[in-house]
Structure 1
Amino acid sequence: MGISHLRNIIVCFFLFSILVSKGSSLFDPTTVQVQNDIEGDQVLLKIHCKSLDDDLGEHALNFGNEWDWQFRVGFGTTYFWCDYRWYDNRDQRWYQGSHEVYKATLSGFKAKYYVFCHSKCVWSARRDGLYLYRRDKREMWEKRYTWDP
């Protein structure tokens, strides 16, 4: 084994040690949280979330309640979406939607939503649509989807 090969091994080991010691989010679990912020007369939000591998079941959230789950990202393979539905007592009609809530891509190595929300993606269901809390530059809520009537 040559000196340059040994040096490469030492450099790789050193870089890996730094990455792990810094608590890199690459190895940390990711959390997705959905909260019911639909104001109205006891609006019940029903959500059913799935990934390519797992069915997380249906959950019913009263106003002000939230539900979350954790997972480890598999780059290029992690994908979660949720089906939503809720009844508007004011308008006497159902609203619904099926929306992506987390997707890991191979472009740029990091997951698509990592840039927006780091290791915790928070979604807020509101009367006019679904909002994502942006933890990147803006630190604000951004409307990402509207409801299908």
Structure 2
Amino acid sequence: MFPFSRCLFSFVLLVFLVRWCDGAIIEKKVHVRIINDLGNGSDLNLHCKSKDDDLGVHVLAPHQFFEFSFRPNFWVTTLYFCRFWWGDESHWFDIYVERRDVGRCNKQCWWTVAAVGPCLLDARVQRYTLCENWKDQKPEGSSQGPKARMYNDNKHLEGNEKEGNAIIIY
């Protein structure tokens, strides 16, 4: 039994050291920002949650943003999802999926939300080009799952995000 315990201890120690070197043990906070880009003067209602945290309901005026921060968990399974609604529209989206987003936005995940879906800021080109469909919709005429849209718009990088009032939860 002793050799098994020794192997198990060595394995756990190895995983711990790898995660430590990767920065996951003393993980820096991830900052998520959601900007209302609906247009037409529409307010955006949103309600974001994780398995453990309910961030509440918020109403964003045009170009206003909601921001929250968290530390990802050790198991690389952190997930935050949001419901968005305005007028007679209602949709949901996984706003942060650690396995999906760790290489895309790292510690600063900024999203614009338009009627067609959310777009993530691509820090390499400083544009909201990483666009997704709503999780509750399939592309028209398709029996397959959603496919990502391409959307090039950098208007929020020209200072517009500073015009809105921030709602920040830490």
User: Are the counterparts in 1 of residues 93 and 134 from structure 2 also a CA contact under 8 Å?
Assistant: no
Given the alignment, which residue of 80, 93, 96 partners 1:99? Answer: 93
Aligned to 1:43: 42
More strand by share: 1
Alignment root-mean-square deviation, CA: 2.8
When the two structures are aligned, how many residues end up with a matched partner?
118
Letter in 1 for 2:46: I
TM-score by length of 2: 0.60
Structure 1 unaligned spans of 5+: 1-11, 88-93, 106-111
User: Are the counterparts in 1 of residues 112 and 119 from structure 2 also a CA contact under 8 Å?
Assistant: yes
- Aligned to 2:104, what secondary structure does the other structure show? helix
Larger radius of gyration: 1
Aligned to 1:119: 107
Deviation at 1:96, TM superposition (A): 1.6
Structure 2 unaligned spans of 5+: 1-13, 138-170
- 1:110-149 counterparts in 2 under 5 A? 112-135=100-123, 137-141=124-128, 142-146=130-134
Aligned to 1:73: 72
Aligned to 2:33: 33
Deviation at 1:33, TM superposition (A): 0.7
Q: Distance in 2 between matches of 1:115 and 1:147?
A: 21
User: Are the counterparts in 2 of residues 45 and 60 from structure 1 also a CA contact under 8 Å?
Assistant: yes
Q: Distance in 2 between matches of 1:132 and 1:57?
A: 22
**Identical pairs, percent:** 25
